[in-house]
Structure 1
Amino acid sequence: MIERKSGQSIWRQIANDISDSIRSGTYPPGSKLPTEAELSLQYGVNRHTLRRAISELAEDGVIRVEQGRGSFVQEHVLDYLVARKTRFSDNVLRQRRTPGGRTLLLAEEVGDPSILKQLGLPGGTRLVRLDRIGEVDGRPISVGSHFFPAAKVPGFAALHEELDSITKVLTHFGYGEYTRRETRVTARMPDAADADHLQQPRNRPVLVVESINVDQTGMPIEYGFARYAADRFQLVFES
């Protein structure tokens, strides 16, 4: 309730009220707030006053404002552990959140020379490529491209369609104990497709994580190239 003679500025009361609504779950993490016009009508103020409140919430990190899209409740950042055995679902479940995802592309192709080099394979080798969106609590957090030597995982596509899990498929082929040999992290702006998949503007950077996983003998079994929404995700390296 806004009290115009309370001694506290109207915009501050509005900011506090929206913060209370976020804490109570009326606006859950990742959700979009009502439009400026709707909030101005709700609080009986002009847009200038409303924008001051929104600006304050954004400065405090309570919400984020996306040009052309609106204002969104800031999400909880996922601590993603990078260790010898790095598994997406395990990392998410460890924080009592719900993992999920969907497949964008699953195909066999002649490997790009740069990717074959990462896997230690000769030119012309065929790879299985899996492009997939990783989700946490139903919200996209990553777009990953995974590459596997086709000769080592025959029938990968059918198995993945059935099991919907990279780890379960690799376990089927005897590589369930695969470990992380190398992780490289950079940052860049997303392309249009990645921004769309991650539901974020193109002017917000993504974390790019390249990884090589190896089997029990130390031979590369997977090369990964994942793009993560930087405001929803942070890497934690196990020492």
Structure 2
Amino acid sequence: MATRGSAVLRRRGAALYGELAGDLTDRIQHGEFAPGAKLPPEKELAEAYGVNRLTVRRALSELARSNVIRTEHGVGSFVREASVRHRIDDSHAGLAESMAARGLTVTHELLESSRVWLRDLDADTRSRVPRGWKPPLARFRFRRLLDGPPWSLSTVLMPVGVAPADWDGVNSLTSVLADQGLPVIRAERGFSAAAADDETARWLDIAPGTPVLVVNGINTDHHGVPVMLLQHHTRADRAEYVIRLTEQLEGEE
């Protein structure tokens, strides 16, 4: 690989870091490094291409700016996985159902199934608990994986009376509720950005401080009664949420 890399860079005669970035991009596009794969360390790349580590570092920074790779400080550089579009304007289709229709598999890893009181919740979550919910509440914490890699770290609160007592994460919560005669509707979603804390980063396989998309929401039954309060910390490099607007508002864009 050393001979190949050095020849490529010297033959073209342009800025070395730019040529190195271009060659690595070609190798990624031709499948030599698969999505999610870790690139060789800087030292190994420098030796392979006959350049110094500063040149390698500049090339990797160029690839990161172009969204070809993502870099986790102290860990390494990884080929960026393509983001997956998820429509949320269909009030009935959950992530698992939506992805299954596209041939993708969503799996759930149940991390916690417990009963909590309002005093156990942080102030922000406590302020979003729907009126009329009486504690204790059922709390489920789980990780969703999309075709292998993590998609989100999720927390769901529900009234104990409607929460499935034996949910094990094999099927989605919404599908289990539907099987029990309680189909739910996606009623409200809010989006914000945050930096992943240590625990979130660990479960999502990203570096602490990496930006994540925070989705807060409420699901209701067919009568509009809230039955689920949820929060997803979603990997920003994997997800793109889509809402189709069917009504044109005059004077607005």
Pairwise TM-score range, normalised by the shorter structure: 0.7 to 0.9
Q: Distance in 2 between matches of 1:164 and 1:96?
A: 16
Within 5 A, what are the aligned runs for 1:1-239?
A: 1-2=4-5, 3=7, 4-83=10-89, 84-111=91-118, 115=126, 118-123=129-134, 125-153=135-163, 156-158=164-166, 160-161=167-168, 163-176=170-183, 178-239=184-245
Instruction: Note if contact 1:147-1:222 (Cα within 8 Å) is conserved in structure 2.
Output: yes
Q: C-alpha distance in 2, partners of 1:229/1:5?
A: 40
State the distance in 2 between where 1:17 and 1:173 align: 55
The amino acid of 1:120's aligned partner reads R
Structure 1 residue 163 displacement after superposition: 4.3
SS of 2:237's equivalent in the other structure is helix
| TM-score, length-scaled by structure 1 | 0.87
Query: CA contact under 8 A between 1:77 and 1:233: conserved in structure 2?
Result: yes
Distance 1:152 1:98, change over 3 A: closer
CA deviations 1:140-178 (Å, max 9, x no partner) are: 12111011211123xx242x22743212320232112x1
Query: Which blocks of at least 5 consecutive residues in structure 1 are unaligned?
Result: none
Structure 1 CA distance, aligned partners of 2:242 and 2:176? 26
Alpha-carbon spacing, 1:129–1:16, altered in 2? closer, same or farther (3 Å) = same
Q: 1:80·1:234 contact (CA, 8 Å) conserved in 2? A: yes
Distance in 1 separating the partners of 2:147 and 2:222: 33
| SS of residue in 2 equivalent to 1:218 | coil
Shift of the alpha carbon at 1:122?
A: 4.4
Structure 2: 5+ residue runs without aligned partners?
246-253
- Measured after TM superposition, the shift of residue 117 of structure 1 is 5.7
Structure-2 separation of matches of 1:6 and 1:151? 69
Aligned residue type for 1:148: M
Secondary structure at 2:161 match in 1: helix
**Aligned residue for 2:248?**
none
Aligned-residue RMSD, C-alpha: 2.3
TM-score of the two chains, using structure 2 as the length reference: 0.82
Go from structure 1 to structure 2 and tell me whether the alpha carbon gap of 1:52 and 1:190 turns closer, same or farther (over 3 Å shift). closer
